[in-house]
Structure 1
Amino acid sequence: MRKSIIIMALALVSWSVYAQHDHANMHGKQEEGQEVKRYDTDKKFQDQLGGLYESSLILTEAFVSSDPALVKRKAVDIKKAMGKVDMKLLKGQAHMDWMKYSTLMNSSIIVFEKAESLAEQREAYATFSANLYKSLKAFGSNGKEAYYQHCPMALNNTGAYWLSDKAEIRNPYFGDAMMKCGSTKEKIND
């Protein structure tokens, strides 16, 4: 237990140093053309990550419905799915990258649960989605298909991404107000 706490603390310190020097990507948001290092990953880890991705689809639908109370309830499922991803299956830089991505996703989950407004939740959702995307690209999901989609008008016209299991656009940043706003930027079939 103590060793795990020390490892976590070191990872957070190293992530803090990294984040201070990553001004263009402060919140872990994915930009087009940004490369993600691919790792040869244990299939068990990929299955666990695939479970997290599947749980995220239900969260996305809560955002599509523009229901902040539902987002809070679905955040509990995301937290459980995150807890099932065993980082001990990763070594070296792969482990460090997962720590970086998972730290940002866990921070987003806290916002989902505690935020008073849907706007705050959606801002955190952009960070969560970008880091889940990076995780799927880096580690794979053992064959799960994902569409990485983008709305240029989201978050006050700064744009934001999300993952879907369907090519059809169902915008989680605007819901019914602009359901079809966006496009698929990448299809992940790993």
Structure 2
Amino acid sequence: MKKYIITALFSLFAIASVSAQLKSDAQVSKLYQNYISIKDALASDNADKTSKAATEFIKTASAIDYKILSEGNVNTLKKDATAISNASDIAVQRETFFNLSDNMIALTKQFKISANPVFVQYCPMADGSWLSNEKKIINPYYGSSMLSCGSVKSEIK
């Protein structure tokens, strides 16, 4: 009987642990989707849409539990997104996107954010990386002026 109780307790702890991991992955996955919206808006040269996407990113980041992602990391992400949201000039938004991308790339390596591979892409002209759901290059740093500039540097599974 004691053996069954111990086994049941271990099973409950394992289920709770898996449940907590899935919750954390889901929260970070939503943040990633907001990031992709920012990237897509930058690639389409739309400063207003970029600002709105960054505002959504901030809302999602504000809801993340500090047990999942440290307060310092959340604040860093929110700081970059706030700078993007507050800027009306797309060049300024793109400049801040460098930092946001570097931080999101690091985060993506820690959490399972997608069932599909996530691609780390790089533009040598901008000397900057970003994340994408697809291999096709759609450059957020130059938009329509150099939309396909760059290459896939790595894949996060």
Corresponding residue SS for 1:162: strand
When Rg is computed on C-alpha atoms for both structures, the one with the higher figure is 2
Number of residue pairs the alignment of both structures matches: 139
* Alpha-carbon distance in 1 for matches of 2:47, 2:114: 31
* Alpha-carbon distance in 2 for matches of 1:58, 1:121: 13
Specify the alignment match of 1:66 in structure 2: 45
Contact 1:151 1:183 in 2 (8 A): yes
Contact 2:48 2:88 in 1 (8 A): no
Letter in 2 for 1:146: V
Letter in 2 for 1:135: L
Specify the alignment match of 2:58 in structure 1: 79
Letter in 2 for 1:132: M
RMSD: 1.9
Corresponding residue SS for 2:138: coil
Q: Does residue 169 in structure 1 map to residue 149 in structure 2?
A: no
Contact 2:58 2:82 in 1 (8 A): no
Q: Which has the higher contact order (CA 8 A, sep 6+)?
A: 1
Corresponding residue SS for 1:42: helix
Tell me the CA shift for residue 143 of structure 1: 3.1
Corresponding residue SS for 1:187: strand
Specify the alignment match of 2:97 in structure 1: 125
* Identity rate, percent: 27
TM-score by length of 2: 0.80
TM-score by length of 1: 0.67
Contact 2:55 2:82 in 1 (8 A): no
Specify the alignment match of 2:10 in structure 1: none
Residue 80 (structure 2) aligned to one of 96, 101, 108: 108
Letter in 1 for 2:59: K
Contact 1:149 1:164 in 2 (8 A): yes
